Amino acid sequence: MSTEMRETSAEAVPYAAVDQALGALAEALKGTPAFQALLEAARAMSQDEQVQNLYRRMADHQSAIRWGRGNLREHLLAL
């Protein structure tokens, strides 16, 4: 673990303390029904071909907008 510290508005906080707090939060969350439902939904989406195709199309439109390719209005309407 890093012992570096990052300045905050209140005080410096060691990265290790942040990592420890995040670990405790993850442990507390993973036992909750809501978090389990979220994980199950994420797994289902990652295995759904229709969802993945839609995601790819959205990413293509976002990339085209970002890089100024094609018709901006058409890309925005598609999203």
Q: Tens of pLDDT along 26-38?
A: 999 999 999 999 9
String of b and e for 21-45 (b: at least 16 CB within 10 Å)?
eeeeeeeeeeeeeeeeeeeeeeeee
Domain residue ranges of the chain, discontinuous segments joined by +: 1-37, 48-79
Could you read off the pLDDT of 51-64 as tens digits, one per residue? 999 999 999 999 99
If phi > 0 it is left, if psi is from -120 to 50 it is alpha, else beta; for residue 76 that is: alpha
Looking at residue 11, its pLDDT comes to 76
- Average pLDDT along the chain: 89
Looking at residue 56, its pLDDT comes to 96
Inter-CA distances, 14 with 9, 21, 28, Å: 14, 11, 22
Of all residues in the chain, the percent with pLDDT exceeding 70 is: 87
